[in-house]
Amino acid sequence: MKRMNYRKYAPYPAVDIPDRTWPSNRITKAPIWSSVDLRDGNQALPIPMSVDEKVAMFKLLVSIGFKEIEVGFPSASATEFAFVRRLVENQLIPDDVTIQVLTQSREHLIRRSFEAIRGAKNAIVHLYNSTSRQQRDVVFRMSREEIREIAISGTRLVRTLKEESGNPGIRFEYSPESFTGTELDYALEVCHAVMDTWGATAANKVILNLPSTVELSMPNIYADRIEWFCRNIKDREAVLISVHAHNDRGTAVATSELAMLAGADRIEGALFGNGERCGNMDIVTMALNLLTQGIDPELDFSDMPAVRETYRRCTRMDIHPRHPYAGELVYTAFSGSHQDAISKGMKAHSLSAEGLWDVPYLPIDPQDVGCTYEAIVRINSQSGKGGIAYVLDKEYGIQIPKWMQPDFGNVVQEVTDRTGEELTPGQIHELFQKEYIGAKSPYLLKKCQISWDDADPDANDEVATTINCSVQSSEGEIAFKATGNGPLDAFVRGMASHTGLDFHVDEYAEHAIGHSSDALAIGYIRIACADGRISCGSGIDSNISLASIKAIVSAMNRLH
């Protein structure tokens, strides 16, 4: 076997913080959320959104509840600039929503950004420049001092332009880009310089965004970096610590959650993790993670199908069917044991007075995100009898008794094994009808009249029921009159005497299908023969006794 060259990679350095406190902390409230769908998400699309598509996405983000939305990089293109102007001039920004614009620390880009937000009530100017050792040495070929001066000069210009605008609603955010590749002491040095230049106070806070621009370490190390930074930053009350995690290692959500434990106040991310390379931190997942812990996420994903539809239409991106909380398969179960546990859990929850969600395999109630229970159980070759019964009960009101479930399970298994395909609820129902209700050979009930004449109604052991039956068989018509202690007993006696088949009813169940006065009845029967054979059958009729007699005929027809 060829071995991969792991020696070309060096481990990410740990942080010297032996008395770290974040592992013992708990998240008790939602962070300040900032959506970057319209900037970081948009720039990663093969086909960037048009102005109209960006407006539709903006309206979706507002409806979800975002109060801070990074709307673009207006100095980067005419489309970006035009979109921001559309929002401002058409008064599409609610008073409680702050738009955010991104700009590099370059004078003409900063000035263009201020032109874009002119007239906006509330706006954040997000300034960044790369501070990492790698970028300093390889890309810019600049010293620490030179890179720091880029941050200072940009901050100074933003402050000046804010003062000239006379708009107190303009706030400032600074990102030492590639924070994860920047020495901690140097990142702190640059941020202190920015704070001093801005004049950060508790009343005039600066947002310091510490991005995992490239995810280089395990989430716990990033949390160590955030705790170290929060401990060492001066005037902590004058700053909001923000994080912006990318998903290169597949742990951006965990990175952001642990960063909150370590002191972060604010989270940037995108719907469904859209963004460069492996994407941004997925706000949908993180927000609903909070919900499952009894914490108000302060974002509304109660209509997930509508969120998915708008996202797909505007971005032309798909959502993986296994995407947490949002994928079209996440509330399904193919495994038989899972299906059985879900079915029992759902029933127990419906009877619970406490109201707390506690269903196996489902950390969230699908209804809370606009999904339905009907899609929970789907049937293929890996499915079990409990799941099959659940589908028929939920979709068609057919409650197959537990003793009959293995029989129908074998019927379904034979089909799925042969076809290798999933069966829809409709196909399962059709198979039930064909296998049991449609079993009409070699016997077919043509006529059955039931009469009852009980000399002593208080006695339970009298043979007081009489039936007159006509049954079509493959060998001709069978007509008989028989008595028994009930319609089923009388019918079994009559059929046994006229067919020579020695059998008795081994299990029996019945119920109504529906709740109206004209609801149909369904009966389930298992018969056992003297020669050891057993067979299950089912029958449907408006009369419960006839439904059960039809079930006996069904079971006789299915004897092998």
What whole-number distance in Å separates Cα of residue 447 and Cα of residue 471?
A: 7
Helix 51-64, helix 78-89: angle, nearest 10: 50
* Order of all β-strands in the sheet with 465-473: 443-452, 465-473, 476-484
Closest CA relative to residue 32, chosen from 324, 243, 326: 243
pTM beyond cutoff 0.85: no
Q: What is the pLDDT of residues 449-473, one digit of tens each?
A: 999 876 666 665 567 799 999 999 9
Q: What is the pLDDT of residues 387-423, one digit of tens each?
A: 888 889 888 999 999 999 999 999 999 999 999 888 8
Write out residues in the chain with pLDDT < 70, as ranges. Answer: 372-378, 381, 454-462
What whole-number distance in Å separates Cα of residue 209 and Cα of residue 203?
A: 18
CA dihedral 326, 328, 332, 333 (to 10 degrees): -100
- The residues that bridge with 469 in the sheet, in sequence order, are 448, 480
What is the per-residue pLDDT for 374?
Answer: 56
CB neighbours of residue 302 within 10 Å: 12
What is the per-residue pLDDT for 274?
Answer: 97
What is the per-residue pLDDT for 147?
Answer: 96
What is the per-residue pLDDT for 459?
Answer: 62
What is the per-residue pLDDT for 551?
Answer: 97
What is the per-residue pLDDT for 527?
Answer: 97
Q: Residue 142, CB half-sphere, CA atoms under 13 Å: how many? A: 15
Domains of the chain listed by start with CATH number = 30-315 (3.20.20.70), 336-436 (1.10.287.1400), 443-557 (3.30.160.270)
Cβ within 8 Å of residue 235, ≥6 positions away: 195, 200, 201, 202
What whole-number distance in Å separates Cα of residue 341 and Cα of residue 387?
A: 9
With H, G, I as helix, E, B as strand and everything else as coil, classify residue 149.
Answer: helix
What is the per-residue pLDDT for 460?
Answer: 59
What is the per-residue pLDDT for 540?
Answer: 96
Angle value at C-alpha 75, between 73 and 81, nearest 5 degrees: 75
Residue type, 16: D
Task: Report the Cα 89 to chain-centroid distance in Å.
Answer: 37
Task: Report the Cα 123 to chain-centroid distance in Å.
Answer: 32
The CA distances from residue 80 to 37, 76, 83, 484, in Å, are 13, 7, 5, 85
Determine which helix (DSSP H) or strand (DSSP E) holds 351, and give its type and residue range: helix 336-351
